[in-house]
Every structure is written in C-alpha cells, then in structure tokens.
Amino acid sequence: MAFIQDIFSIFNKRNIPFIESFQESEGVYTFRFEKSDDVTWKAGQHGLFTITHQKIKGHTRPFTIASAPEEDVIQITMKISDDPSEFKKAMLSLKKGDTIKMAGPVGSFYLKEDSPTMLIAGGIGITPFRSIIQQIEVEGNNNKQIQLIYLDSSKSFVFQDELDQFAKETSVKVTYIHERDHLNKELDKCICSYSNDGHFFVAGPKSMVETTTTYLQKQKVPKRHIKKDVMFGY
C-alpha cells in the first residue's frame, strides 16, 4: 500500500519558492523554502527536488525533508564539497524568489508505533531525525521511549543545539559518539533493554547503514523491526 501511495505522490509536483540558505557547519548547508497550506508529509519522509532556475544534467535529487510537518518551511540540509555537483552548485546559486520543484513526499521512514525506538544517525543521516524529534516536541508527546544515537567521526554534529534543546523538552535521549565501537556498545545496551519490542531506524551513508543493519541482525533483532534510509551521493 505504501508503495502505491508513493507512486501517486511522485506525480504530486509543486513549485516551492526559495527563502534562504546558510551554512550549518563545514561542508553542510541548509536551504529553506516556502510551505503552502496544502503541503504536508510524515516526519522522516523525503521529497524529490528538481532544479528549474537553471538547465543542468541530473536536475532531480531525493532529499529528506528536515523540517517537521508542523513547521512553516520546507527545509533540506545537505553536504556540499569543495567540488560540488551541478545540482549542488545550482542550489548554492539560488536567490530569494527563485523556485525549485518538489515531488512527493515519499517513503515509509517514519514512526508508526509507540514501541521503544532507537534512532541511529550517521553524519548527514541526522536530517530525518531532526524532523521526527521536532514533530514529537510539537505534538507534546512525552510518552514515547526514544533514544537518538548520533555518530559523526568529524564531531561536527549538525543541529546539535536544536537536538540538545529537544532533549530538554521531550522524552528523547540524545547521545553523541564519534567512534564505531561506541555505537555497537550503545546498540547492545538498547537491545538488552528493549528485548524483542524495540524498533531501530538507521540513516546515513550506505556503508554505515549496511554495517549497522548487519550488526543488529546478528544480535537477533528481527528484520521487521529495522528501517533504513540510505543517504546516497556523499
């Protein structure tokens, strides 16, 4: 059913006006666009964004919507290297009033149950979790047992100030780590605490997501309790 919904959603395209962009940390930029009243999504989903103010190859890319549905902007955050793709160069050239096109939202990477949940972010994989945790705060739902583990070898920890504030105002526990071995130790703690009731959401670069998923499965976490969101192109 979710697959069919995604197919229909892909054809739901709209122009979104650019508001502003700014640098979050070294090599990481946030872009904000106007959100009309008829646009909504589930926290954690992504959209397909198309460059329309320039003619470029590879003009469409998927990005997680980093803002929560209840916020008044559509926000995407991405890594941009010193030698960016044509798409990212075009993003950096946006001026207020320019538009790009958004299709979607699509994807099933969002909370559905009140089961104990561990959110596992690797680097830029924090974007869907920023949306999810922001939505929890907006809803005032402090009954959810949620832990965020944020792995970043560079220790840049995008959105750290916001995440720390969310942790103060919600039931979400946030842990920052910069070594893979520390992640496995945190996973072991949660697996032990959650037993067979825990759900695990993993987002980040492909290698990190695959390694983490394999580790969870070796620890006997059921496949149906693991959701993955691979950030391609980083």
**128 and 222 share one domain:** yes
Q: Residue 152 pLDDT more than 70?
A: yes
Asked whether residue 73 is domain-assigned, the answer is: yes
> Is 150 a member of any domain?
yes
Q: Same domain for 207 and 136?
A: yes
Give the tens place of pLDDT for each residue, 185-231.
999 998 888 877 889 999 999 999 999 999 999 999 999 999 999 98
Please indicate, yes or no, whether residues 166 and 219 belong to a single structural domain of this protein.
yes
Say whether pLDDT at 4 is over 50: no
Q: Tell me the pLDDT tens digit for each residue of 91-111.
A: 999 999 899 999 989 999 999
Tell me whether residue 111 is in a domain. no
* pLDDT value of position 37: 86
| Position 7 confidence tier, pLDDT thresholds 50, 70, 90 | low
Q: Please, are residues 37 and 45 in contact by the beta-carbon 8 Å criterion?
A: no
- The pLDDT score that the predictor gives to residue 86 is 95
Between 10 and 130, name the one with better pLDDT. 130
Instruction: At 57, list the tokens.
Output: 């190859």
C-alpha gyration radius of the chain: 17
DSSP for the chain, please give it. Answer: -HHHHHHHHHT-EEEEEEEEEEEEETTEEEEEEE--TT----TT-EEEEEE-SS--SS-EEEEE--S-TTSSEEEEEEE--SS--HHHHHHHT--TT-EEEEEEEE---S--S-S-EEEEEEGGGGHHHHHHHHHHHHHT-----EEEEEE-TT---TTHHHHHHHHHHSS-EEEEE-SHHHHHHHHHHHHHHHTTS-EEEEEESHHHHHHHHHHHHHTT--GGGEEEEE----
Residues 123, 70, single domain; the answer is no
**Between 176 and 38, the higher pLDDT residue:** 176
Percent of the chain residues topping a pLDDT of 70: 93
Judge whether 193 lies within some domain. yes
pLDDT of residue 234: 47
87 and 11 within one domain: yes
| Residue 11 reports pLDDT greater than 70 | no
Q: For residue 68, is it within any domain?
A: yes
CATH code assigned at 217 = 3.40.50.80
Please identify, among 106, 141, 163, the residue that sits at the C-terminal boundary of a domain. Answer: 106
Q: What is the pLDDT of residue 115?
A: 85
- Structural domain including 129 reads 117-230
Sign of torsion, CA 113 109 11 76?
positive
Judge if 143 and 64 occupy the same domain: no
Task: Let me know whether 168 and 63 are in one domain.
Answer: no
Which tens digits make up the pLDDT trace of 20-67?
Answer: 999 999 999 999 999 988 899 999 999 999 999 999 998 999 999 999
Mean pLDDT of 60-85: 95
140 is a domain residue: yes
* Comparison of pLDDT for 5 and 218, the residue scoring more: 218
Residues 156 and 213 in one domain: yes
* 197 within domain boundaries: yes
What pLDDT score does 3 carry?
Answer: 46
Does a structural domain hold residue 12? yes
- If asked whether residues 37 and 67 sit together in one domain, one would say yes
> Domain count of the chain?
2
Q: pLDDT, tens digit, for every residue of 123-145?
A: 999 999 999 999 988 887 666 78
- The pLDDT value given to residue 99: 97
Q: Classify residue 39 as left (phi > 0), alpha (psi -120 to 50) or beta.
A: beta
CB neighbours of 29 closer than 8 A, spacing ≥ 6? 21, 22, 23, 77, 78, 80, 91, 92
CB atoms within 10 A of CB 97: 9
